[in-house]
Amino acid sequence: CRESHDACNRLRKHGVLPTRLIDIGTEDSPNPRLVLSRTISDSSKEHAAYMTLSHKWGSAPFLVLSWHNLKEFQEALPMEQVPKTFRDAIYFAHCCGARYLWIDSLCIIQDSTEDWQIEASTMHTVYSNSYLNIAASESENPSEGLRAAKFADLEQPMRFLFQHGAFEGVYSCHYETLSDLEGTNSLSQRGWVLQERLMSPQTIHFTSTVTWECREIFASQLYPEGKEGTLEKIRYSMRIGSVENRHLLWTMAIQNYSRCTLTKTDDKLVAISGIARTLQALHQNDYLAGLWRDNLVEGLMWVPELDNDVFGYGTTCHLAPYWSWASVDGPVSMAFSIWHKNLVFQVLEAKTTPLHGDIFDQVKSEFIKLLGSIYCLGVFDNV
């Protein structure tokens, strides 16, 4: 990947580090501890490759960074209290030759709203500049570790050798297996993970098999030569696609994201803000709580999925305008099929005011003015 995938290497900014990192140590000094990146010398930063971890939090409490243990962590992490998934990630990073590891729960002060807001706004750069993202894709919580079946326990790929060699190297396995690995594992149901996968140049998934995902291919032990995955198409569109194509891929991402879960409902917009920041930097468009000004008419045409309690949708607090998909809890669908038909309304004005000053986060007020026809509708029970 590093030798032949141009897309996986050219966008990474060397020397750009997160605020805090876990120094996993060396063979001479193997004790992991928390360090501030500003204490790393400039010459060392250029070669300071770090890895990241994507994991599911679960419902049970576990060791996290707080004001209370900040100084303790800077001296040494209490490894006997560190969850197994984190210990496994530290060991894996060490085996790969990395010096540093970034884990959200150990590198962001969890009882500081200010620190969380600052770090959440730079989350996309943390993952996009990482050397490798480690994904605990089958672990329901941090105590389960990096779970992966041994290759001997898996269904073996079958290699076909044809007489003329035209198809040499073709492997066969159940297509559903790859689909499951790509989008239906435990971790993929977590809301934050969509942007972590999109932003990371390379991700290694520990699931029923070890799986590789980068900006060009999606591969596994059962499919070693790989295939182009859905997220790879989205990444390509974000890099060089037209504005229209980016809007299409954004709505596809939103449909996937709306099916995910969040530990905190308040994170609805911030958990996808990294993708939005990247897109805005590419085409300088106004962002309105999950929608784009130059695509606002089409963006308004979302609907809750009909196999859910449509009129029971709603968030526990005001996060986004009622006209944004982000205002509801649950899967939504976008009206792709009518985008290019004649529309009978237009947006005259639209504005959102952020709650904390960040346009990519929760809003405190909004306004929209439409011009179009009005129809009288009714809602009936048991229909």
Q: How confident is the model at residue 31 (pLDDT cuts 50, 70, 90)?
A: confident
Pull the structure tokens for residue 300. Answer: 């308004």
Average pLDDT over residues 214-227: 76
User: So what's the pLDDT on residue 312?
Assistant: 47
Contacts of 197 (CB under 8 A, 6+ apart): 54, 133, 135, 188, 203, 213, 231
CA pair distance 47, 316, nearest whole angstrom? 45
* pLDDT tops 90 at residue 1: no
Model pLDDT for residues 108-133, shown as the tens digit of each residue? 999 999 999 899 889 889 998 998 99
Q: How confident is the model at residue 376 (pLDDT cuts 50, 70, 90)?
A: confident
CA pair distance 89, 83, nearest whole angstrom? 10
Q: What's the length of the chain?
A: 383
Strands 20-23, 100-102: pairing is antiparallel
Alpha-carbon torsion, ordered 114, 116, 119, 121, to 10 deg: -90
Query: Is the CB of residue 162 less than 8 Å from the CB of residue 209?
Result: no
Rg for the chain (alpha carbons), in Å? 23
Average pLDDT over residues 281-285: 83
**Alpha carbon of residue 372 to chain centroid:** 37
Average pLDDT over residues 183-206: 81
Model pLDDT for residues 72-104, shown as the tens digit of each residue? 999 999 999 999 999 999 999 999 989 999 999
User: Among 297, 282, 296, 267, which residue's Cα sits nearest to residue 360?
Assistant: 267
Q: What are the C-alpha distances in Å from 305 to residues 149, 333, 373? A: 35, 6, 25
| Measured CA angle at 65 (ends 64, 71), to 5 deg | 140
CA pair distance 232, 278, nearest whole angstrom? 15
Residue 368 pairs in a beta bridge with 350
